[in-house]
Amino acid sequence: MTNERLREVHQSRPFRPFIMRISDQAWIKVTHPESLAYDPRGRSIVFVAPDGSTQHVDLLHVTRLEIANGARRRKKRT
């Protein structure tokens, strides 16, 4: 994964939530653009979860980005 590709997806407007797949089979769901911060050297990122916890991720371990299609789920009516 390149830093440029992640920035392109992260900074797209309107923002669309996405999932980062990590090489150890983990994943991170990015639901808000302010939840990511970049290392000035461009090699890693910091993800801040809604509960305030953080994860440091080396971009060499990001294997794929899955971008939401923009469709919203509808609630079933009963």
27-59 pLDDT per residue, tens:
999 999 999 999 888 889 999 999 999 999 999
Considering the domain boundaries, does residue 55 fall inside one? yes
35 in helix, strand or coil?
helix
Output the average pLDDT for the chain.
88
What is the span of the domain harbouring residue 26? 3-67
CATH number, domain at 18? 2.30.30.100
Considering the domain boundaries, does residue 77 fall inside one? no
Q: With pLDDT > 70 as the criterion, what percentage of the chain qualifies?
A: 87
| Helix or strand run (H / E) with residue 7 | helix 3-10
Q: With pLDDT > 90 as the criterion, what percentage of the chain qualifies?
A: 72
Considering the domain boundaries, does residue 74 fall inside one? no
Counted domains in the chain: 1
Considering the domain boundaries, does residue 33 fall inside one? yes
